[in-house]
Amino acid sequence: MTTTPASRAYGPLPAPAPEVHPETAAFWAGTARGELLLQHCQDCASAIWYPRFLCPHCHSTRLETVEATGRGTLYSFTLTTRGILDYKDCGPYVLALVELDEGPKMMTNIVEADPSELAIGQRVEVVFHDTGEGTALPRFRPVPAQNG
């Protein structure tokens, strides 16, 4: 029997806990509550991802934390057939860039989807995978067309 990536079963992805640093602590605390948090620059109005101390656009330190809608579009993706480290034995999985509705692009995984049916520009929404250590990993799943 021949098994191709598109016909294999896609099991749950591992959810390794992230390293939490002072500039990312608020973000990771939000994930534990099921909130996707971004930073918003009060000087140039940019939405910022990944969390940091300085606005990457104007170097302001006047950043506030705001909750994102948790929705976006699939900007790019690839089917990873051979993972490493925590992903070594999980089988093929989708690594993706999602462009959030607020603007930033987030490296993530697409879950709860048949990879052969994914398309650039498709609407996606965040889901959180509990790491078991007080944080959760934001991943995305397709939104049914009538709800996007």
* 58, 66, 107, 120: residue in contact with Zn ion (rule CB under 5 A): 58
Report in angstroms the alpha-carbon separations of 38 from 51, 62, 63, 70, 84. Answer: 7, 13, 10, 10, 28
- Shortest Cβ 101–Zn ion spacing (Å): 19
Does residue 141 belong to the site contacting Zn ion (CB under 5 A)? no
Shorter beta-carbon distance to Zn ion: residue 43 or 67: 43
63 binds Zn ion (CB under 5 A): no
**Residue 4 CB partners (closer than 8 Å, separation 6+):** none
CB closer to Zn ion out of 46 and 108: 46
By CB under 5 A, residue 36 contacts Zn ion:
no
| Contact call for residue 55 and Zn ion (CB under 5 A) | yes
- Cβ-defined contacts of 6-9 (< 8 Å, 24+): 6/114, 6/115, 6/116, 8/91, 8/92, 9/91
Positions touching Zn ion (CB under 5 A) are 41, 43-44, 46, 55, 57-58, 60
